[in-house]
Each structure stands twice: as C-alpha cells, then as structure tokens.
C-alpha cells in the first residue's frame, strides 16, 4: 500500500460508491465518514431511507416527539452493522468546554457530532435538541486496511463532506450531488471496478 494512501484520513469525507459496487446496502450509496484511523473506519450511509419515520421510531421507544420538522423524516439504513442500534448525526451541541451536551457522543472534525445515547432522543422529544438531525439504524464499518484496499480497487470515490448534502438535500439527489462535489455525473463513470 502506498504511503500516501496509508496516511489519508477520510474523517468528515463522503465515500461515493462506484457503479460497479453491487453489495447492498452500498449500491449507489453515499457514506458520511465519522471516523477513520489506522484501526479502521466507521460511517453512515446517508441516502438509503428505511420504511420507518422518526415519528414511528419515537412511538416504538414510547416517547413523544415534539418536533414537527422531524416527524415525517425517515430513519436511514446507516449500514449493515448493529442495525437495531440508533445513531444520531447532528450539528455540534458542545457546551464550550470540549464536552458534548449528550452522554455518548463522538465529535467529528468539521463541526458535526454523532450521538448514540438515549439523552438526545429525550431532548428531541421535548422539542429541544439540535436543529439539524439525521437518524439511522446501523452503521458501516471497515477493519484495519479494508477501506484503503477497497479504494485501491476503485470501489469508492472520496470527497470532503458538505453537511448541507446530509441535512438539506433531497434524498434522491444525494448521490448525484455528492458526485457533483467532484465535478462528476454518474453517466461519466464506468461500471467496471478495477484498474485500467
């Protein structure tokens, strides 16, 4: 593996699946990378909605949802790992002391946070909490060196993340808009995976 690829940190980047990727849930997927280190990588697929709405999720956990802006939004399929567990990606709610406002929160360089503790759901249920919220069940993970290998096999394109694509872009446009960050459109990409 080249030293350049090895040193690349893709935290706060999008992975964009190449057309040749045929494994569900990654077909035409855009993955927001929450963490990438020499130990592996963790991300959330941002363009695969489930058939559950945030309101339905709150009903299932027996909490009211006093956020009309969220009730009709879908819960996303964040990836194939721990699909029964919720992950909330949101704008930073840090209290100014390098601590998040919530219990189990990963602070992501670039201004976003990912929270897995129930206290963020409790905040949303009262009408509070972060303004911009993305909720998924499950996440995507890569073992040490696995993601680098897949990128080397031309399975993924990478680009610096734009939070507006996660929170403000219609779901059906996210794949094309992510490619647009690279100046590409899907018709420009070959469906063959591998090296020329």
- The string of pLDDT tens digits covering residues 97-110 is 556 678 899 999 88
| Rounded CA separation 40/44 (Å) | 14
Superfamily of domain 3-188: VC0467-like (3.40.1740.10)
Nearest of 111, 114, 106, 92 to residue 161 by alpha carbon: 111
Q: Phi/psi of residue 74, each to 5°?
A: -80, 155
| Arithmetic mean of pLDDT over the chain | 90
Helix (H, G, I), strand (E, B) or coil at 7: helix
Q: Would the CA dihedral through 135, 139, 145, 150 be positive or negative?
A: negative
Q: State pLDDT tens for residues 26-35.
A: 999 999 999 9
| Rounded CA separation 50/35 (Å) | 23
Q: State pLDDT tens for residues 51-105.
A: 999 999 999 999 999 999 999 999 999 999 999 999 999 998 765 555 667 889 9
Q: What percent of the chain has pLDDT over 90?
A: 79
pLDDT of 192 above 60 = no
CB 17 within 8 A of CB 151: no
- Indicate the pTM of the whole model: 0.90
- HSE-CB for 31 with a 13 A CA cutoff: 31
Residues constituting the chain: 196
| Rounded CA separation 156/103 (Å) | 33
Continuous segment of H or E residues that includes residue 118: helix 118-125
Query: What does R_g of the chain's alpha carbons equal in angstroms?
Result: 17
């Amino acid at each position: 593996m080249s030293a350049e690829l090895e040193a690349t940190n893709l935290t706060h980047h999008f992975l964009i699946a190449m057309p040749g990727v045929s494994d569900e849930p990654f077909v035409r997927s855009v993955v927001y990378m929450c963490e990438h280190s020499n130990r592996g990588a963790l991300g959330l697929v941002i363009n695969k909605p489930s058939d559950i709405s945030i309101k339905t999720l709150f009903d299932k956990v027996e909490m009211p949802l006093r956020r009309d802006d969220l009730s009709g939004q879908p819960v996303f399929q964040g990836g194939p790992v721990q699909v029964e567990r919720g992950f909330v990606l949101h704008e930073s709610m840090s209290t100014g002391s390098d601590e998040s406002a919530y219990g189990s929160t990963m602070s992501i360089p670039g201004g976003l946070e990912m929270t897995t503790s129930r206290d963020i759901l409790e905040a949303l249920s009262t009408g509070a909490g972060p303004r911009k919220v993305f909720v998924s069940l499950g996440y995507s993970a890569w073992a040490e060196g696995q993601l680098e290998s897949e990128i080397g096999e031309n399975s993924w394109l990478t680009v610096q993340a734009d939070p507006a694509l996660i929170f403000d872009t219609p779901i059906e446009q996210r794949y094309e808009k992510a490619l647009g960050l690279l100046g590409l459109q899907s018709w420009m990409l070959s469906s063959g995976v591998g090296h020329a």
